[in-house]
Structure 1
């Protein structure tokens, strides 16, 4: 994996562990030679992620809608800052520029990006690993809900492994690097659906 799209919050939670985690993830990715593609912001976990990677000498590509640039939240220190018009263009750029997706704690926007990466993998728009860093148990409920969707039958068994979840970054990156794509819906026959 040469680059990962990293999804995370633009907020700064009161608990300092989250910002410290984002900074550490940026540093570790840079030390491993993995570039960061992210939302291009300078605030919250996003800013900490970029700062960590840049401080460690890593590549950081920010992809940000022009409305956010006008709101003065763009991180001008990025190795490269790509300004797009829409969120759809932003997410397409994340997919085009990265070899996989890594999700850190975040809010609604982070969930939107995670679920789109999962949905696109399920359909067959990409065959890249989708990692979920469950630091501090942040995603315990989401992991449980994903298992519930499989159990009920809304997620096919062949697709239940799309989300690769781990509590520790090293283990998660190892599993992502070893990821073998599943059979996407676009290649399945009607009777398999």
Structure 2
């Protein structure tokens, strides 16, 4: 069974479109037979994704640091909950379990998690696809920054192209189904400047 890593806010955000998108995502993944691994929370977009998937009979795996689990922030209905010692272990466990990663609207923690997976993919540590579910243009500034990094010579175009930006979970799943990672250590990538 394919497992999708989801990074998203523990808050619902200021627009109901965010929570609606979280519910649509959880439902769509469960209906597609794709399991979810996420941070294990019961609130915000995290809780909405899990609730929607579970309501469809989907498999939902949570990975939560002990500190947060001890504060009773974990979702009570998960298929599996892994309690780990810290955030580093959480990210490593999610990376081990997931076959791909989708970031939904969230704060700095969401960005830090998806950036790490994207960086690891660039380095060839894994070959898993990464995407941004761009609800209401939330990630438009990041998409622009992605293009700026290429234009200013800090990233090669194939690494920018690794990312999918879409407001549709179905589109993201279609891209992931045919994803081929760039080859980091080929002659084209050894060029300087």
State the aligned residue count. Answer: 191
Are 1:80 and 2:83 matched, yes or no? no
Are 1:147 and 2:147 matched, yes or no? yes
Shift of 1:158: 2.8
Q: d(CA) in 1 for partners of 2:45 and 2:157? A: 33
- TM-score if structure 1 supplies the norm length? 0.94
Are 1:106 and 2:84 matched, yes or no? no
Shift of 1:142: 0.5
In structure 1, runs of 5+ residues without a counterpart are none
Q: d(CA) in 1 for partners of 2:165 and 2:127? A: 17
Q: How does 1:1-193 map to 2 (within 5 A)?
A: 2-184=2-184, 187-188=185-186, 191-192=190-191
Q: d(CA) in 2 for partners of 1:133 and 1:119? A: 18
| C-alpha RMSD over aligned residues | 1.4
- TM-score if structure 2 supplies the norm length? 0.94
Deviations 1:117-173 (A, max 9, x none): 110001111100101111111111110111100111111223121211112111111
Structure 1 runs of 4+ with >4 Å offset: none
Q: d(CA) in 2 for partners of 1:191 and 1:132? A: 28
In structure 2, runs of 5+ residues without a counterpart are none
Any idea what SS the aligned residue of 1:74 has?
Answer: coil
Contact 1:158 1:183 in 2 (8 A): no
Q: d(CA) in 2 for partners of 1:158 and 1:18? A: 29
